[in-house]
Amino acid sequence: MADKPNQLPVTDPLHVLPEFFSIVAGSGTLNGVCNITLAVANFTPRADGKIDPDLVVNVRLRSDLSGIQQLRDACDALIAQNIKPNGKKDN
């Protein structure tokens, strides 16, 4: 990722772990704050041997509009980098 001029340095003193998510479970805006709830699919085995897939909330993002626009731009760039011109995935 290219550095932007006048961007503050980013540190990670709490060693925040990455989170994987399966779906965007919900999104909305309240009082000017954008909210996105992400969920991950768990595959819980049942007593009969079958798998019971269940979705569990694992991330709740909160941001102002500027942060959401930056997130959208970053996602758009990642999608563009990983899709070939014919519409198929790169890998």
Express each pLDDT in 40-78 by its tens digit: 999 989 999 999 889 999 999 999 999 999 999 999 999
SS3 state of residue 76: helix
Question: How high is the pLDDT of residue 7?
Answer: 81
Residue 55 CB coordination number (10 Å): 14
End-to-end Cα spacing for the chain: 20
Enter the pTM of the model.
Answer: 0.76
Is the pLDDT confidence value at 88 over 80? Answer: no
